[in-house]
């Protein structure tokens, strides 16, 4: 059975969290919009009884699943990327939803007023939102992931249980995205979260993930994506000139 992933063809975006799971498990899938164009996305939502609000969504035979965290929960047991223990599986789902919250906040650093306006039309607001994100939210999220890793009842080195789950793949993607968007911030502060840094490196080295990242299926980050690099939104490495 071949999964069909529906997501915008030009960006990693939220679809990437799903791609990483499919790739890690070497699952057969079609990245529909890359093959048939983005119009295929709307063609599907217009036709089904359960039309997702927004991509990504997944088709598995006659089952349709939308919302990134839910797609991953659906795929997790099928791809061997979720713990079998129901309580741990519940925990992985909670972790994934928290990753999703952080992804939304990372997006909103360059679109604090709304996705309907260009970045250039909300640049001052972006500066202010990004500053709060860097100073308050990134430390809070990374600190939480560090705690989760330290408290893993199975002893680690993964977020939950003894084997990598889709949440581990997603945390890698989050760290990668933050590295791209906020290189100064992350270079200076990620070492304070050694568990998170080690986990990201461990995921990057998983054979199927390493192959995927080296392939042309992995799109490079770009300025239409969720994680964008605007130097003015990153931490400064030298102090501001005084007025």
Residue numbers at the binding site for a second copy (CB under 8 A): 49-53, 63, 65-67, 69-70, 74, 87, 90-91, 93-94, 97-98, 101, 104, 108, 112-114, 116-117, 122, 125, 128-129, 132-133, 136-137, 141, 144, 147-148, 151-153
How many other CB atoms are found less than 10 A from the CB of residue 62?
6
Q: Smallest distance, Å, CB 195 to a second copy?
A: 15
CA angle 149, 166, 191 (to 5 degrees): 40
- In the complex with a second copy, which residue's Cβ is closer, 28 or 53? 53
The residue (of 100 and 206) whose beta carbon lies closer to a second copy is 100
Give the shortest CB-228-to-a second copy separation in angstroms. 18
State in angstroms the smallest separation of the CB of 151 from a second copy: 5
Helices and strands, number each (H, E), in the chain: 11, 4
Q: How would you list the strands of the sheet with 3-6, edge to edge?
A: 29-31, 3-6, 57-60, 63-66
Whichever of 12 and 126 has its CB closer to a second copy, that residue is 126
Closest approach of a second copy to the CB of residue 218, in Å: 26
208 to each of 27, 160, 215, how far by Cα in Å? 11, 20, 11
């Amino acid at each position: 059975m071949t999964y069909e992933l529906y997501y915008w063809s030009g960006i990693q975006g939220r679809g990437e969290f799903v791609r990483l799971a499919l790739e890690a498990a070497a699952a057969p899938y079609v990245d529909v919009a890359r093959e048939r164009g983005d119009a295929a996305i709307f063609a599907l939502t217009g036709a089904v009884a359960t039309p997702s609000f927004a991509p990504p969504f997944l088709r598995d035979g006659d089952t349709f699943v939308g919302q990134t965290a839910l797609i991953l929960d659906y795929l997790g047991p099928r791809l061997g990327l979720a713990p079998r223990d129901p309580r741990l599986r519940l925990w992985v789902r909670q972790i994934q939803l928290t990753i999703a919250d952080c992804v939304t906040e990372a997006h909103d650093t360059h679109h604090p007023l709304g996705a309907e306006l260009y970045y250039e039309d909300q640049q001052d607001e972006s500066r202010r939102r990004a500053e709060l994100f860097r100073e308050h939210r990134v430390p809070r999220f990374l600190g939480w992931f560090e705690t989760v890793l330290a408290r893993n009842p199975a002893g680690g080195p993964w977020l939950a249980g003894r084997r990598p789950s889709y949440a581990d793949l997603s945390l890698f993607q989050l760290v990668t995205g933050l590295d791209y968007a906020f290189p100064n911030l992350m270079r200076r502060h990620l070492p304070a979260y050694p568990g998170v840094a080690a986990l990201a490196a461990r995921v990057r080295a998983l054979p199927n993930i390493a192959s995927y990242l080296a392939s042309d299926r992995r799109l490079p980050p770009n300025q239409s994506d969720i994680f964008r690099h605007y130097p003015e939104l990153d931490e400064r490495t030298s102090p501001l000139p005084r007025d």
